[in-house]
Structure 1
Amino acid sequence: MNEFTMKLFYLVVQFKILDFLKQKYKQSNCYCYASSDLEPACAITSTPHRPVFIQGIQDDMKIQTAALAGLMLVTQGAFAQSSVTLYGIADVALRFATNQPTSAGPANRLFMTDGATTFSRWGLKGREDLGGGTSAIFDLESGYSLTNGQSGQQGQLFGPMSYVGLSSTTYGTLTLGRQYGTAHKFNANFDPISNGNVTPDDWEGKLLGVWFDNSAEYSNNFGPVYVESQYSFGNQSGSVSSGSTIAAAAIYSEGTFRGGIVGQTSKDGFGHRLYGGSVGLTYAFGPARLDSYYIYARRDAGFTVSANNSGLPLANTVLIGNATTATGAQTAVRTDHLALLGGTYTVTPNVLLTLAGIYDWTTNVAPGQNGRTGSVYGIADYLLSKRTDVYLEADYSHLSGAAVTDPNSPIGTFAGKSASIGTMVGVRTRF
């Protein structure tokens, strides 16, 4: 059998297998729910997506994509495996919120906005089998707003992710590019909605940052323990450490229990540092799952986060700073102690309920002045199909002490008021 015949035979067999899988699962309604899109393995995923169902088999679009990859094999090695997948989310909601800041003071607001737990995005991810359990991988993901068509994440074309790397079943995975921070991905594993998307349910991400440019990340599994490390280059002339971030995490999983710890340090362009870390626990039983984590973050006085798209230290990270306060320049170390407790409950195969509370004790919001920040939210999610759902969200946020006027508040301020109430209804589909 010559090489061309081998390729043709392999291609025909592949199409037969794909057609069999497509027919087998075409009539199946069997799928399960999870509290997040996180991969079911004990892993910090590279894409901490938000809670939806997980379907038991790839949908028709992915099958067609795999078939297209099969066609490409005719011009490649007879047994090489490669794939490119187009994926995405379209999520939009109508939201009402009280005490929103305006030039005339606090006011109620009714507006269209992005989703409660996920932002709209599209992406291309690929994998090429290099043999011996090693693959080349990449992921290009672009966030956008359905309300106006603009790019999200500071207007960056591939704001959430743009990386390439190598993955080995033995030696782990190394990725290079713009990526979610290790600490952010860690907390997503212990959050009932994987960090959320609307301010009352996602503000905790600003304590340790969300995305980091110029990052190298390594991960691997050692039995029940998953480890990951991050080094983000500052890319500043004259200093290797200016604008850099270092983080490391470990997660242990056993059955329906998961626990872990992460540590991080970031350095601004003036030598000031952020020291932070988190511990998390989650446990699932029956149709319910409990999630919890604690975040510690310590910012030196003067810690500065550069403007987005400036190319300067810590730009495009969503971190909060500690350089100025409502009363003037900051001269004290700021410390945040944040706790989250929440969970999900699957009522029926089509109904998922989520409830969570977040509370932050902050010292030296301004020199000698402390503050408290908290929010509670609930979500009722109804699945219309394997890929489409509608949801209702309600939330309450509260500020006290110096947090009421804090310019560095991770949740924002309410025009001098101490509380805000919000609710939203939305629709989401995935492809």
Structure 2
Amino acid sequence: MKKSLLALAALGTFAGAAHAQSSVTLYGIIDAGIAYTNNTAGQHNYFMSSGNLQGSRWGLKGTEDLGGGLKAIFVLENGFNVFNGRLAQGGAEFGRQAYVGLSTAQYGTVTLGRQYDSVVDYTGALEVGSQWATFYGAHPGDLDNLNNSNRVNNSIKYTSAKYAGFSFGGLYSLGGNAGQFNRNQIWSLGVGYSQGPLVLGAGYLNVKDPNFSFFGNTPSSSATASNMAGSRVYSGFASAKTQQVISAGGAYTFGAATVCATYSNTQFKDVATEAGTGLNAAGYTGGSGKFHNAEINFKYQLTPALLVGAAYDYTKGYGLSNAKYHQGMLGVDYFLSKRTDVYVDGIYQHASGTDSTQRAAVANINGLSASSTSNQVAAIVGIRHKF
């Protein structure tokens, strides 16, 4: 009996040691709100909105200590709509993230799977739509992907360790088309700096055949028709051969206040090159649709529990579109605890010029159907809980 008890004790000690070297964590966010818009296709609308400050999700992440400072890591992250239980990201089971890789504190991390690009990693967090303004406050149509609307399939990614505040990384996605090496190819690079009150970041993204490889890489995507119809800001450029994004941003915190600014240049190059049903409905014969975007945002922590924010964003089209979009945002976020907060946000957008569809530009706040006029207002009140 004593020998059996000793054996069980030894086994328990070994199991505890093994457990200490590896772990799996279940985590998630549930974000739900009630929203209003004054004009979608000429009508005002009240509706329920899921995943506003952050996408509603649940996930599993794990690490295993392999010795010598080397770890195996993985993440499986599912997005969903809290109001109807449907899968987000076009019905992909782990559409937010799904990757596995190796990591060291000294040399960085290499991962393979469905992942975020470097524009998202190094400048996305500085955009107000990724902070307190909800995804409705993202840049029009999230044309530069700073709000992480699109992920990258079939990707290999490297993220460095931090060296004196600096970090860098890159991603490459194989297109997977036999005999067409560049087809659906995606690559990106980024660099960041974070030390004390100062944060800086810059990113570059290059996407071949964006209608299919970037906007259309989920189970519900079309293999022949447009996957870019969600926003008139760029829907007319679905036949572009390449999407290119250059982004940069910075933030500085002084006391309870933080000021952030971002700039991006987005280009849909060689329009009318990509073949597919309805991809060139605007009738282009060539050229590129290009956009400058500049944003400044401010937030102030009035109390440890109460944050207020204001932001302004300007988008200017050139090349095949001369549309202009002015967007203003105000928000309040109150933390009931470290894991639960309630928020109120308002967004106003004004459009002018001619948009990608070659029609008079109308306001088209990210995530909403286009207005019938040059103006559009959205407001939302919601609650977010993290676990």
TM-score by length of 2: 0.81
Q: Which residue of 2 aligns with 1:375?
A: 327
TM-superposed deviation, 1:387: 1.0
Aligned length: 345
- What do you get for the CA RMSD once the two structures are aligned? 2.9
AA of the residue aligned to 2:296: L
Q: Which residue of 2 aligns with 1:146?
A: 82
SS of match in other structure, 1:344: strand
Q: Which residue of 2 aligns with 1:165?
A: 101
AA of the residue aligned to 1:92: A
Task: List per-residue Cα deviations over 1:115-171 (Å, max 9, x = no partner).
Answer: 431121101111111111111111111111111111111111111101111111122
Query: Where does 1:212-251 land on structure 2 (aligned, <5 Å)?
Result: 212-221=152-161, 222-251=163-192
Could you list the runs of 5+ residues in structure 1 that have no partner in the other structure? 11-72, 308-321
Q: 1:180 to 1:108 in 2, by over 3 A?
A: same
SS of match in other structure, 2:160: strand
Q: Does the 8 Å CA contact 2:251/2:259 hold for their aligned counterparts?
A: yes
Alignment partners' CA distance in 2, 1:416 and 1:225:
46
Q: 1:131 to 1:305 in 2, by over 3 A?
A: farther
AA of the residue aligned to 1:251: G
AA of the residue aligned to 1:128: E
TM-superposed deviation, 1:353: 1.1
Alignment partners' CA distance in 2, 1:415 and 1:107:
8
Q: Which residue of 1 aligns with 2:297?
A: 342
AA of the residue aligned to 1:283: Y
Alignment partners' CA distance in 2, 1:187 and 1:410:
21
Q: 1:203 to 1:124 in 2, by over 3 A?
A: farther
Q: Does the 8 Å CA contact 1:229/1:249 hold for their aligned counterparts?
A: yes
Alignment partners' CA distance in 2, 1:4 and 1:193:
54
Alignment partners' CA distance in 2, 1:271 and 1:330:
11
Alignment partners' CA distance in 2, 1:122 and 1:424:
23
Q: Which residue of 2 aligns with 1:252?
A: 193
Q: 1:375 to 1:248 in 2, by over 3 A?
A: same
Query: Where does 1:40-59 land on structure 2 (aligned, <5 Å)?
Result: none
Q: Does the 8 Å CA contact 2:363/2:373 hold for their aligned counterparts?
A: no
SS of match in other structure, 1:324: coil
Q: 1:304 to 1:234 in 2, by over 3 A?
A: farther
Given the alignment of the two structures, is residue 420 of structure 1 paired with residue 376 of structure 2, yes or no? yes
Q: Does the 8 Å CA contact 1:184/1:210 hold for their aligned counterparts?
A: no
Q: Which residue of 2 aligns with 1:58?
A: none
Of residues 229, 254, 267 in structure 2, which corresponds to 1:298?
Answer: 267
Q: Which residue of 1 aligns with 2:60?
A: 124
Task: List per-residue Cα deviations over 1:346-367 (Å, max 9, x = no partner).
Answer: 111111112222211111344x
Q: Does the 8 Å CA contact 1:274/1:303 hold for their aligned counterparts?
A: no
Q: 1:330 to 1:401 in 2, by over 3 A?
A: farther
Q: 1:405 to 1:244 in 2, by over 3 A?
A: farther
TM-score by length of 1: 0.73
Q: Which residue of 1 aligns with 2:236?
A: none
Task: List per-residue Cα deviations over 1:42-75 (Å, max 9, x = no partner).
Answer: xxxxxxxxxxxxxxxxxxxxxxxxxxxxxxx35x
TM-superposed deviation, 1:78: 4.8
TM-superposed deviation, 1:8: 3.6
Q: Does the 8 Å CA contact 2:324/2:353 hold for their aligned counterparts?
A: yes
Given the alignment of the two structures, is residue 384 of structure 1 paired with residue 336 of structure 2, yes or no? yes
Alignment partners' CA distance in 2, 1:233 and 1:197:
32
